Amino acid sequence: NSDDEDVFFDPEADLMQNKITHRHSKELNKRIQEHLSLIDRSGNEDSGWDIIAEDGEMKLYRKELVINGLICDPLKAVHSVGSVTAKEMCHYFWVPEVRKDWEKTEVFQVLENLDEFTTINYQTHKQVWPAAQRDCLYLSSMVKVDSPPCAGDKTPHDTWIVCNFSVDHPEVNSVPGCVRALIEVALICQTFITPPKDGGPITRDCLQCDIVYVANVNPGGWAPASVLRSIYKREYPKFLNFYTNYVQEKRKDLEILF
Ligand code: 16C
């Protein structure tokens, strides 16, 4: 439809460095704006988010939400890790080539490249007994944010986001028996730099990357509530710890990527 094909030209709202010019541009831009409002970490505890897991700097929050009998609890995690930049953190989350290094999906396919930093992906997740196996079909885009909303008293050096959300695609070859889960996920990262006191060069020791990760997943069909809630409470912290360690390891001897 012609609405989808509009090029996004609103200078007021144009926070993005990359020009957005594909059929899902408007929707992508809208979702990015919504996710960015979450950068402000204040009030996590008193705005309806319950903390359900904590491990060092990592905190996982949820809101309980049931839609048509399905558990759709929104999840939000905050984390902060040293030695890497926001761009590095988002890069490995977005690039298809390294997906198997950090995510245990069984099938992973890129169905379309909408632009240099936007793909449409299809993937299947491991089956969890006694529920049916799940797959998801989603757009994934990595964007630099030029004017992020202010969060606290620190000023970030830069802000990047990866935004994933379910879309349709005519060429999807779905794995038989899978139930389609609907996802809306964002990884928002900000680099903070503490320059050396002696005026020396910026090294990895000067870098801190603050992370906000949000996941709204609708399991798409029956799944036992208690199993689902105990699985996500275990799996999201595991993912955040594994993934952030992975990026730190990957970059430690490489040049800093801003
Ligand atoms: O964000 C992550 N990965 C991204 C790139 O692939 C992408 C994918 C997110 C997929 C999220 C889960 C897919 C649906 C699984 C539904 C399973 C139902 C099982 C029934 C069990 C009785 O954005 C990294 C994601 C890492 C975390 C994966 C944890 C998956 C556990 C299942 C969570 C279901 C939450 C349901 C909503 C309350």
| Total domains, the chain | 1
pLDDT in tens, 208-242: 999 999 999 999 999 999 999 999 999 999 999 99
Q: Are 219 and 228 in contact (CB under 8 A)?
A: yes
Ligand 1: residue whose CA is nearest its atom 3: 103
d(CA 242, CA 249): 11
Tokens of 33: 């704006």
Residue 257 lies in a domain: no
User: Is 256 a member of any domain?
Assistant: no
Atom of ligand 1 nearest to the CA of 73: 38
CA 41 – CA 78 distance, rounded (Å): 8
Angle of helix 86-94 relative to helix 225-251, nearest 10 degrees? 120
Closest CA to 120 of 143, 102, 94: 94
pTM: 0.92
The interface predicted TM-score of the complex, written ipTM, equals 0.94
Q: What is the CATH number of the domain that holds 236?
A: 3.30.530.20
Report yes or no on 91 lying in a domain. Answer: yes
In the chain, the amino acid numbered 111 is: L
How many other C-beta atoms can be found within 10 angstroms of the C-beta atom of residue 201?
Answer: 8
Domain ranges, residue 92: 2-251
Q: Please say whether the dihedral angle defined by the alpha carbons of residues 117, 121, 127 and 128, taken in this order, is positive or negative.
A: positive
pLDDT digits (tens, 9 = 90+) for 190-199: 999 999 999 9
State how far the Cα of 199 lies from the Cα of 217, in Å rounded to an integer: 46
Mutate-to-test residue for ligand 1 from 75, 217, 227, 235, highest number of ligand atoms within 8 A of CB:
217
Residue 64 lies in a domain: yes
